[in-house]
Amino acid sequence: MAQKNKKILIIEDEFLIGELYVRSLNKEGYVSELVIDGAEALKKAQTNEYDIILLDLMLPNLDGVEILKTLKNPSLTPGFKAKIIITTNIEERKDIKKAIEKEADGYVIKADITPSELVTLVNSVNDGQ
Amino acid sequence: MDELKQVIRKAWLNIFTVITVFNLIIMFCLYYAISKKWLRLDYNFYIAILFFVILNFVYFYKVTRKLFKPFETIWQTIAHLNQNSQIEKPDIESLKIAHSLTENLTKQITQMSISKNQATLEMNKEPDLKHNFIAKNLPIPLLVLDNSENIIFANEEFARYIGLQVEDIINKNFYMIVDMSFPSEDTFDVWLKDSKLNRATALKSWVRVRIAIRDNHPIRLFDLAAYYNRDNSFNETTIITIFDHTKQYLQDDNAIGFVALSVHELRTPLTLLRGYAEAIKEELGNNANQQAINFLSKLDVSAKQMTSFVNNILNVARIDNDQLELKLQPEDWSNIITDSVSGMLLRAKIREIEIKIEIEPNLPLVGVDRISIYEVISNLIDNAIKYSGSSKEIILKTYLNRDGLVETLVQDFGLGISENILSNLFTKYYRDHHNRAQIGGTGLGLYLSKAIISAHGGNIWVTSKIDHGSIFYFTLIPFEKLTADLKENSNQSITTTAHGWIKNHSLYRR
């Protein structure tokens, strides 16, 4: 499988949701890891070990938008390679949402999809790599 | 003129007196000559005297006229320069005496008069300067436009308000500088166009006008007032002022923030519900009890239904605060229909309802916002499912109607809606009393659908018969027609709100 050994970092403050995502993605052959804390998540993401990052926006200590900005800024995170999919349940204001969508590789409302639908989305982002 | 006449008369009298005395002396001399018999007195003598007197009179009249003509000319010049007088300009060329002197004098008088008028104008300008000073320093944004909507005056407050310098604004086109969006189609530019065509003067105000964010300058929300005066001699055609209500209106926006937060809180357990239902289904595998699988499907459908409802709440809050913004793009309508319906199939299936789709081939591309229009279709199908009663069929048909619009209908054969409430159906929270007890829902769906369809430039309506079911129709504008109507480049998308096109100087904004 193409997705074998692909590493996914799931940044998700709702542990139960994260757990469901880890389960489905690992079943698909990905190696996924769950982080709840924003600051810790940024440190991990900056190690550049991951191929795909699922990023929630509402996080403890450091919010998702800040993490996104830091990761996508080459002077702050040089050589950053991972694709970022925003997974959130917040309805951002249209202009903020547009700005986020510009930086990210995907944007999805968690309540609108099941874990298996998330896997399909991750697969398509992965294939686009 | 009377005084001058008096002077001339007096002068004439004096001269006449002198001449008369002179004549009398001559006559006395004559008389003396006659008495001494040096002269003979007869009929001819008297005639000669009379002729002499008349000649004197005419001659002196002519002389005084000529002598005083320069004075009269100068007087006439002065009188002529008086703005209110009817006196004509004097004819200097006809002057025989003191021609160049009078000409010089009248020139000087005219020059003095012009200088005086200028000075008076300058003097009169002083209050203008005062007004200018007041306007400049008025703590309310003020803007004056000429007939071509160029900014000819902007006070400091206005410049500050939009985050620019006064000199950056002056002589620029208003629409290029100020990018406003209005809560309805009744916008400033529509009013101004109408006023220019039909009115000499017009006054209007708007509430909840938004100014677009410029270079990180914060968003502004305000009420706007404008005065149009076509016959303004200074070309100050339109005067605009703004009353800032950013704080108050943003508070209303924060109310949406509250809804958004609630929506977030509701979505988390919904995500989990759907996630666990799916996970359990997977764990049970193929050997599972069909009943259990069926229950899990129903659980998923219910969670999904609630997700739609939660989305509806948020969108209604946005519509009410004019924050629903749609991006209309050319889309294949049959694809959207198929996709939307497939999302609803499971919901129909658990009620054992079949959705029949009839799509007319070769429909033109429609200008739609995919996500919003999906909500309309799912709301209408959801309604049809809810109100189907015991009937097991829903028809969804789409075709090009006689007006060249893409028309879609969703028909159920269930409970139907009584005629007297049909007109209220698209009102917020409105539900059929007849059916309320039996059917769940909030009445937000149709309100939302109408707002979304209106924002697409389409119409939505319903026909219904109790116990026979209802047909909901809506129209969408083919993208080509939409762009033609808006004179828009067909490769661009079009931005609209629930209350109409985002407008300012033109019918749309990219």
**ipTM of this complex:** 0.88
The mean per-residue pLDDT over the stretch A111-128 comes to 90
Look at residue B4 and tell me whether its pLDDT is greater than 80. no
Instruction: Return the higher-pLDDT residue of B424 and B330.
Output: B330
pLDDT tens sequence across B203-220: 999 988 887 656 666 778
A107 touches chain B (CB under 8 A): no
Say if the Cβ atoms of B310 and A111 lie within 8 Å: yes
Give the range among B191-195, B324-328, B364-368, B401-405 with minimum mean pLDDT. Answer: B324-328
Which residues is A7 bridged to in the sheet? A31
Name A60's Cβ contacts closer than 8 Å, sequence gap at least 6: A13, A36, A37, A38
Q: Cβ(B409)–Cβ(B472) under 8 Å? A: yes
Among the partner residues A24, A93, A110, nearest to B271 by beta-carbon distance: A110
DSSP state, B94? G
Q: What is the model's pLDDT at position B84?
A: 65
pLDDT tens sequence across B393-450: 999 999 999 999 999 999 999 988 888 777 778 876 555 555 544 444 556 788 888 8
Cα B97 to Cα B424: distance, rounded to the nearest angstrom: 96
Q: Which residues of A touch B260 (CB under 8 A)?
A: 90-91
Q: Band the pLDDT of B346: cuts 50, 70, 90.
A: confident
Look at residue B367 and tell me whether its pLDDT is greater than 60. yes
Cα B458 to Cα B368: distance, rounded to the nearest angstrom: 10
Q: Which residues of B touch A20 (CB under 8 A)?
A: 272, 275-276, 279
Q: Which of A110, A117, A118 to mutate to test the interface with B (most CBs of B within 10 A)?
A: A110
C-alpha dist (Å) from residue B159 to A83, B130, B213, B362, B465: 43, 20, 14, 53, 59
Residue of chain B whose alpha carbon sits nearest to that of A16: B272
Q: What is the model's pLDDT at position B69?
A: 82
Cα B143 to Cα B127: distance, rounded to the nearest angstrom: 19
Name B331's Cβ contacts closer than 8 Å, sequence gap at least 6: B365, B366, B367, B368, B370, B479
DSSP state, B242? E
Say if the Cβ atoms of B325 and A94 lie within 8 Å: yes
Coil/strand/helix, residue B192: helix
Q: What is the model's pLDDT at position B508?
A: 30
Among the partner residues A17, A90, A94, nearest to B275 by beta-carbon distance: A17
Residue of chain B whose alpha carbon sits nearest to that of A57: B264
Q: What is the model's pLDDT at position B474?
A: 96
Q: What is the model's pLDDT at position B309?
A: 80
Among the partner residues B264, B279, B307, nearest to A112 by beta-carbon distance: B307
C-alpha dist (Å) from residue B485 to B185, B481, B489, B508, B509: 15, 6, 11, 10, 14
Task: Give B418-426 contacts, CB < 8 A, sequence gap 24+.
Answer: B418/B466, B419/B464, B422/B462, B422/B464, B425/B462, B426/B450, B426/B460
Instruction: Return the higher-pLDDT residue of B92 and B351.
Output: B351
Locate A51 and state its tokens: 């191929």
Using only the alpha carbons of chain B, give its radius of gyration: 46
B300 touches chain A (CB under 8 A): yes
Q: How many CB pairs under 8 A join A and B?
A: 54
Which residues is B123 bridged to in the sheet? none
Cα B300 to Cα B273: distance, rounded to the nearest angstrom: 7
Instruction: Return the higher-pLDDT residue of B491 and A16.
Output: A16
Look at residue B381 and tell me whether its pLDDT is greater than 80. yes
Between the ranges B30-34, B42-46, B183-187, B295-299, where is the mean pLDDT highest?
B295-299
Q: What is the model's pLDDT at position B272?
A: 93
Look at residue A50 and tell me whether its pLDDT is greater than 70. yes
Query: What's the whole-number average pLDDT of chain B?
Result: 80
Which residues is B409 bridged to in the sheet? B397, B473
Number of H helices, E strands in chain A: 5, 5
pTM metric for this prediction: 0.52
Which residues is B139 bridged to in the sheet? none
Cα B475 to Cα B453: distance, rounded to the nearest angstrom: 8
Look at residue B202 and tell me whether its pLDDT is greater than 60. yes
Q: Which amino acid is at B199?
A: R
Q: Which residues of B touch A56 (CB under 8 A)?
A: none
Cα B247 to Cα B254: distance, rounded to the nearest angstrom: 10
Q: What is the model's pLDDT at position A119?
A: 94
Look at residue A3 and tell me whether its pLDDT is greater than 70. no
Q: What is the model's pLDDT at position B494?
A: 64
Q: Which of B216, B264, B318 to mutate to test the interface with A (most CBs of A within 10 A)?
A: B264
Q: Which residues of B touch A110 (CB under 8 A)?
A: 267-268, 271
Distance to chain A for B366, nearest Cα, Å: 23
SS3 content of chain A, % helix, strand, coil (to 5): 45, 20, 35
HSE of B8 in the Cβ direction (CA atoms, 13 Å)?
19
φ/ψ bin of B177: left (φ > 0), alpha (ψ from -120 to 50), beta (otherwise): alpha
Locate B11 and state its tokens: 């002068």
Say if the Cβ atoms of A114 and B278 lie within 8 Å: yes
Look at residue A122 and tell me whether its pLDDT is greater than 80. yes
Which residues is B210 bridged to in the sheet? B181, B221
Q: Cβ(A87)–Cβ(A12) under 8 Å? A: yes
Cα B417 to Cα B383: distance, rounded to the nearest angstrom: 12
Instruction: Return the higher-pLDDT residue of A85 and B421.
Output: A85
Q: Which amino acid is at A47?
A: T
3-state SS record for B305-373 = HHHHHHHHHHHHHHHHCCCCEEEEEEECHHHHHHHHHHHHHHHHHHCCCEEEEEECCCCCCEEECHHHH
Q: What is the model's pLDDT at position B495?
A: 64
Q: What is the model's pLDDT at position A45?
A: 92
Q: Band the pLDDT of B270: cuts 50, 70, 90.
A: very high
Q: What is the model's pLDDT at position B437?
A: 43
Q: Band the pLDDT of B123: cuts 50, 70, 90.
A: low
The mean per-residue pLDDT over the stretch B293-316 comes to 83
Q: What is the model's pLDDT at position B413?
A: 94
Beta pairing class for A106-109 and A83-88: parallel
The mean per-residue pLDDT over the stretch B326-337 comes to 87
Cα B312 to Cα A24: distance, rounded to the nearest angstrom: 29
Coil/strand/helix, residue A74: coil
Look at residue B189 and tell me whether its pLDDT is greater than 60. yes
Alpha helices in B199-285 (DSSP H): 246-284
B316 touches chain A (CB under 8 A): no
Q: What is the model's pLDDT at position B290?
A: 84
3-state SS record for B156-180 = HHHHHHCCCCHHHHCCCEHHHHCCE
Which residues is A55 bridged to in the sheet? A11, A86
pLDDT tens sequence across B443-478: 678 888 888 898 888 999 999 998 899 999 999 999
Q: Band the pLDDT of B509: cuts 50, 70, 90.
A: very low
Q: What is the model's pLDDT at position B498?
A: 53
Distance to chain B for A77, nearest Cα, Å: 25
Distance to chain B for A87, nearest Cα, Å: 11
The mean per-residue pLDDT over the stretch B141-170 comes to 88
- Where b means 16+ CB within 10 Å and e means fewer, B471-498 reads bbbbbbbbbebbbeebebeeeebbbbbb
Q: Cβ(B182)–Cβ(B226) under 8 Å? A: no
